[in-house]
Amino acid sequence: MRSSLIVKDLSASYKDTKEPTDVFRSVSFQVESGKILGVFGPNGSGKTTLLKVLAGLKPAEAGEVVLPMRNGEPGPVATVPQDYRSSFFEWANLEHNLALTSTSLPSHPQQAVRSARALRTELGLDLDLSLRPRRCSGGMLQQAAMIRAFQDAPSLILADEPFSALDFNVAATVRSSFRRMVKKRGITAIVVLHQIVDLSEVCDEVLVVPGRPFSTELLPGLEHAVIMQNEFLSTDQREDRVGFLALAGRVLGGAR
Protein backbone atom coordinates (compact mmCIF):
# COMPACT_ATOMS: atom_id res chain seq x y z
CA MET A 1 0.00 0.00 0.00
CA ARG A 2 1.52 3.33 -1.09
CA SER A 3 0.58 6.84 -0.01
CA SER A 4 1.27 10.44 -0.98
CA LEU A 5 4.13 12.77 -0.19
CA ILE A 6 2.73 15.52 2.05
CA VAL A 7 4.59 18.77 2.69
CA LYS A 8 3.14 21.09 5.35
CA ASP A 9 4.29 24.65 6.08
CA LEU A 10 7.91 23.85 5.25
CA SER A 11 10.55 26.57 5.78
CA ALA A 12 14.31 26.63 5.23
CA SER A 13 17.13 29.18 5.41
CA TYR A 14 20.90 29.45 5.24
CA LYS A 15 22.96 30.75 8.16
CA ASP A 16 26.18 31.61 6.35
CA THR A 17 25.97 35.25 7.44
CA LYS A 18 25.12 36.99 10.71
CA GLU A 19 21.47 37.05 9.71
CA PRO A 20 19.78 33.89 8.35
CA THR A 21 18.83 34.06 4.67
CA ASP A 22 15.37 32.70 3.96
CA VAL A 23 15.09 30.36 0.98
CA PHE A 24 11.41 29.48 1.35
CA ARG A 25 8.71 29.77 4.00
CA SER A 26 5.34 28.09 4.54
CA VAL A 27 5.56 25.82 1.52
CA SER A 28 2.79 23.23 1.33
CA PHE A 29 1.83 20.72 -1.35
CA GLN A 30 0.92 17.07 -1.86
CA VAL A 31 2.04 14.63 -4.55
CA GLU A 32 0.18 11.34 -4.95
CA SER A 33 1.87 8.05 -5.69
CA GLY A 34 2.42 7.59 -9.41
CA LYS A 35 2.49 11.36 -9.96
CA ILE A 36 5.38 13.61 -11.02
CA LEU A 37 5.73 17.18 -9.77
CA GLY A 38 8.11 19.42 -11.72
CA VAL A 39 9.83 22.37 -10.04
CA PHE A 40 10.51 25.24 -12.44
CA GLY A 41 12.08 28.65 -11.88
CA PRO A 42 15.18 30.82 -12.34
CA ASN A 43 18.64 29.93 -11.07
CA GLY A 44 19.12 30.58 -7.37
CA SER A 45 15.42 30.46 -6.51
CA GLY A 46 15.76 27.59 -4.04
CA LYS A 47 14.71 24.59 -6.13
CA THR A 48 17.72 22.42 -5.21
CA THR A 49 17.44 23.45 -1.56
CA LEU A 50 13.84 22.23 -1.56
CA LEU A 51 14.97 18.82 -2.82
CA LYS A 52 17.73 18.65 -0.19
CA VAL A 53 15.25 19.35 2.60
CA LEU A 54 12.84 16.72 1.26
CA ALA A 55 15.70 14.20 1.03
CA GLY A 56 16.77 14.91 4.61
CA LEU A 57 20.14 16.29 3.47
CA LYS A 58 19.39 19.75 4.92
CA PRO A 59 17.36 20.44 8.04
CA ALA A 60 14.14 22.41 7.78
CA GLU A 61 13.56 25.45 9.97
CA ALA A 62 9.92 24.54 10.43
CA GLY A 63 7.19 22.41 8.96
CA GLU A 64 6.62 18.74 8.29
CA VAL A 65 7.43 16.27 5.53
CA VAL A 66 5.38 13.05 5.47
CA LEU A 67 7.12 10.57 3.18
CA PRO A 68 5.15 8.09 1.06
CA MET A 69 4.42 5.00 3.11
CA ARG A 70 4.87 1.38 2.15
CA ASN A 71 3.45 -1.36 4.37
CA GLY A 72 2.99 1.13 7.18
CA GLU A 73 6.53 2.56 7.05
CA PRO A 74 8.24 5.32 5.03
CA GLY A 75 9.56 3.80 1.81
CA PRO A 76 13.07 4.27 0.36
CA VAL A 77 14.00 7.69 -1.05
CA ALA A 78 16.19 7.86 -4.17
CA THR A 79 17.98 10.92 -5.52
CA VAL A 80 19.46 11.92 -8.87
CA PRO A 81 21.87 14.69 -7.79
CA GLN A 82 22.87 17.65 -9.91
CA ASP A 83 26.54 16.79 -9.20
CA TYR A 84 26.16 13.19 -10.34
CA ARG A 85 29.87 12.71 -11.24
CA SER A 86 30.98 12.92 -7.61
CA SER A 87 28.45 10.22 -6.65
CA PHE A 88 30.43 7.42 -8.35
CA PHE A 89 33.52 5.55 -7.12
CA GLU A 90 36.33 6.08 -9.63
CA TRP A 91 37.95 2.71 -8.88
CA ALA A 92 34.89 0.65 -9.87
CA ASN A 93 33.08 0.28 -13.19
CA LEU A 94 29.49 1.43 -13.55
CA GLU A 95 27.75 -1.86 -12.85
CA HIS A 96 29.90 -2.43 -9.75
CA ASN A 97 29.14 1.13 -8.65
CA LEU A 98 25.44 0.36 -8.94
CA ALA A 99 25.83 -2.91 -7.05
CA LEU A 100 27.84 -1.26 -4.27
CA THR A 101 25.27 1.47 -3.73
CA SER A 102 22.28 -0.87 -3.71
CA THR A 103 20.70 -0.99 -0.27
CA SER A 104 18.21 -3.75 -1.04
CA LEU A 105 20.75 -6.29 -2.34
CA PRO A 106 23.97 -5.63 -0.36
CA SER A 107 24.74 -9.31 0.21
CA HIS A 108 23.89 -10.38 -3.34
CA PRO A 109 26.18 -8.34 -5.66
CA GLN A 110 25.52 -10.50 -8.71
CA GLN A 111 21.79 -10.08 -8.28
CA ALA A 112 22.34 -6.30 -7.99
CA VAL A 113 24.33 -6.35 -11.24
CA ARG A 114 21.54 -8.26 -13.00
CA SER A 115 19.02 -5.77 -11.64
CA ALA A 116 21.07 -2.85 -13.00
CA ARG A 117 21.25 -4.46 -16.43
CA ALA A 118 17.49 -5.08 -16.44
CA LEU A 119 16.79 -1.47 -15.48
CA ARG A 120 19.13 -0.27 -18.25
CA THR A 121 17.02 -2.22 -20.73
CA GLU A 122 13.74 -0.96 -19.26
CA LEU A 123 14.94 2.64 -19.50
CA GLY A 124 15.83 2.03 -23.16
CA LEU A 125 19.51 2.84 -22.68
CA ASP A 126 22.53 1.63 -24.66
CA LEU A 127 25.04 2.24 -21.88
CA ASP A 128 28.24 0.20 -21.45
CA LEU A 129 28.19 -0.67 -17.74
CA SER A 130 31.72 -2.09 -17.89
CA LEU A 131 33.21 1.41 -18.18
CA ARG A 132 34.78 3.22 -15.24
CA PRO A 133 33.48 6.72 -14.45
CA ARG A 134 36.60 8.50 -15.72
CA ARG A 135 35.94 7.09 -19.20
CA CYS A 136 32.33 8.27 -19.20
CA SER A 137 30.86 11.52 -20.46
CA GLY A 138 28.51 13.52 -18.28
CA GLY A 139 25.56 12.15 -20.19
CA MET A 140 26.68 8.55 -19.62
CA LEU A 141 27.03 9.13 -15.88
CA GLN A 142 23.62 10.78 -15.80
CA GLN A 143 22.15 7.66 -17.40
CA ALA A 144 23.82 5.52 -14.72
CA ALA A 145 22.44 7.83 -12.02
CA MET A 146 18.95 7.34 -13.44
CA ILE A 147 19.37 3.55 -13.32
CA ARG A 148 20.51 3.84 -9.72
CA ALA A 149 17.41 5.87 -8.80
CA PHE A 150 15.16 2.91 -9.60
CA GLN A 151 17.30 0.05 -8.34
CA ASP A 152 16.03 -0.13 -4.75
CA ALA A 153 12.30 0.15 -5.54
CA PRO A 154 11.92 3.64 -4.03
CA SER A 155 8.67 5.19 -2.91
CA LEU A 156 10.02 8.68 -3.66
CA ILE A 157 12.47 9.92 -6.32
CA LEU A 158 13.99 13.40 -6.04
CA ALA A 159 15.79 14.31 -9.27
CA ASP A 160 17.72 17.53 -9.92
CA GLU A 161 17.89 18.27 -13.67
CA PRO A 162 18.10 14.55 -14.56
CA PHE A 163 18.01 15.07 -18.34
CA SER A 164 20.37 18.06 -18.59
CA ALA A 165 23.46 16.21 -19.90
CA LEU A 166 21.66 13.83 -22.27
CA ASP A 167 21.71 14.29 -26.01
CA PHE A 168 18.44 14.87 -27.83
CA ASN A 169 17.56 11.27 -28.74
CA VAL A 170 18.63 9.75 -25.42
CA ALA A 171 16.77 12.46 -23.48
CA ALA A 172 13.55 11.72 -25.38
CA THR A 173 13.86 8.02 -24.56
CA VAL A 174 14.66 8.59 -20.89
CA ARG A 175 11.83 11.12 -20.43
CA SER A 176 9.31 8.63 -21.76
CA SER A 177 10.77 5.69 -19.81
CA PHE A 178 11.04 7.67 -16.58
CA ARG A 179 7.37 8.67 -16.70
CA ARG A 180 6.24 5.17 -17.62
CA MET A 181 8.28 3.53 -14.84
CA VAL A 182 7.08 6.00 -12.19
CA LYS A 183 3.49 5.27 -13.19
CA LYS A 184 3.98 1.51 -13.36
CA ARG A 185 5.65 1.30 -9.95
CA GLY A 186 3.44 3.82 -8.18
CA ILE A 187 6.42 6.00 -7.26
CA THR A 188 6.10 9.64 -6.19
CA ALA A 189 8.57 11.88 -8.02
CA ILE A 190 9.72 15.49 -7.76
CA VAL A 191 11.94 16.72 -10.57
CA VAL A 192 13.73 20.07 -10.98
CA LEU A 193 13.61 20.99 -14.68
CA HIS A 194 14.54 23.97 -16.86
CA GLN A 195 13.44 22.89 -20.35
CA ILE A 196 9.86 23.21 -21.54
CA VAL A 197 9.97 19.91 -23.42
CA ASP A 198 10.95 18.16 -20.18
CA LEU A 199 8.16 19.85 -18.24
CA SER A 200 5.48 19.22 -20.85
CA GLU A 201 6.34 15.55 -21.49
CA VAL A 202 7.17 14.37 -17.96
CA CYS A 203 5.25 16.26 -15.26
CA ASP A 204 1.65 15.98 -14.12
CA GLU A 205 1.94 19.28 -12.23
CA VAL A 206 4.54 22.03 -12.07
CA LEU A 207 5.49 24.11 -9.03
CA VAL A 208 6.48 27.45 -10.56
CA VAL A 209 8.95 29.32 -8.31
CA PRO A 210 9.37 33.02 -9.28
CA GLY A 211 12.35 33.74 -7.01
CA ARG A 212 13.76 33.58 -3.50
CA PRO A 213 12.46 33.56 -0.84
CA PHE A 214 9.23 31.94 -1.96
CA SER A 215 6.06 30.56 -0.46
CA THR A 216 2.99 28.74 -1.69
CA GLU A 217 0.98 31.17 0.42
CA LEU A 218 0.43 34.87 -0.19
CA LEU A 219 2.81 36.36 2.37
CA PRO A 220 4.30 39.90 2.41
CA GLY A 221 7.87 40.06 1.09
CA LEU A 222 7.82 36.56 -0.42
CA GLU A 223 7.48 35.41 -4.01
CA HIS A 224 4.26 33.50 -4.57
CA ALA A 225 4.95 30.01 -5.91
CA VAL A 226 2.01 28.35 -7.63
CA ILE A 227 1.20 24.84 -8.81
CA MET A 228 0.04 24.53 -12.41
CA GLN A 229 -1.66 21.50 -13.94
CA ASN A 230 0.04 20.22 -17.10
CA GLU A 231 -2.85 19.87 -19.54
CA PHE A 232 -0.67 19.04 -22.55
CA LEU A 233 0.72 15.60 -21.72
CA SER A 234 -1.64 13.94 -24.17
CA THR A 235 -0.98 16.22 -27.12
CA ASP A 236 1.81 16.50 -29.68
CA GLN A 237 0.69 19.91 -30.91
CA ARG A 238 3.58 22.33 -30.70
CA GLU A 239 1.35 25.36 -30.14
CA ASP A 240 0.00 23.79 -26.94
CA ARG A 241 3.49 23.32 -25.51
CA VAL A 242 4.46 26.83 -26.48
CA GLY A 243 1.29 27.99 -24.73
CA PHE A 244 2.32 26.09 -21.61
CA LEU A 245 5.70 27.87 -21.62
CA ALA A 246 4.01 31.24 -22.17
CA LEU A 247 1.70 30.62 -19.23
CA ALA A 248 4.61 29.62 -17.00
CA GLY A 249 6.46 32.74 -18.14
CA ARG A 250 3.51 34.94 -17.23
CA VAL A 251 3.45 33.37 -13.77
CA LEU A 252 7.16 34.00 -13.32
CA GLY A 253 6.94 37.56 -14.57
CA GLY A 254 3.67 38.51 -12.93
CA ALA A 255 4.35 37.19 -9.43
CA ARG A 256 7.15 39.63 -8.66
Buried b / exposed e over 100-134, threshold 16 CB at 10 Å, is ebbeebeeeeeebbebbeebbeebebebebebebe
Residue 129 scores a pLDDT above 90 = yes
Calculate helix-pair angle for 168-185, 138-150, nearest 10 degrees. Answer: 10
Does 256 have pLDDT greater than 70?
A: no
Q: Write down the pLDDT at residue 107.
A: 59
| pLDDT for the residue numbered 91 | 95
- What is the structure's pLDDT at 15? 82
- pLDDT exceeds 60 at position 112: yes
Segment holding 133, helix H or strand E: none
Instruction: Please state, for a pLDDT cut of 90, what percent of the chain lies above it.
Output: 67
The secondary structure element, H or E, covering residue 10 is strand 5-14
pLDDT (tens digit per residue) in 4-20: 999 999 999 988 767 78
Comparing 77 with 107, the larger pLDDT belongs to 77
**Which of 256 and 70 is assigned the larger pLDDT?**
70
Cβ distance 93 to 116 under 8 Å?
A: no
Where exactly does CATH 3.40.50.300 map onto the chain?
5-76+153-254
* Rg (the chain; Cα; Å): 18
Average pLDDT in the 100-125 region? 82
Per-residue model confidence (pLDDT) at position 247: 56
Residue 27, exposed/middle/buried by CB under 10 A (0-12, 13-18, 19+)? buried
**CB within 8 A of 19, min separation 6: which ones?**
none
For 5-76+153-254, which CATH class? alpha beta
User: Residue 237: what pLDDT?
Assistant: 47
Q: How high is the pLDDT of residue 36? A: 97
Q: Please state which of the ranges 167-171, 223-227, 250-254 shows the lowest mean pLDDT.
A: 250-254
What are the respective helix, strand and coil percentages of the chain, to the nearest 5?
35, 25, 40
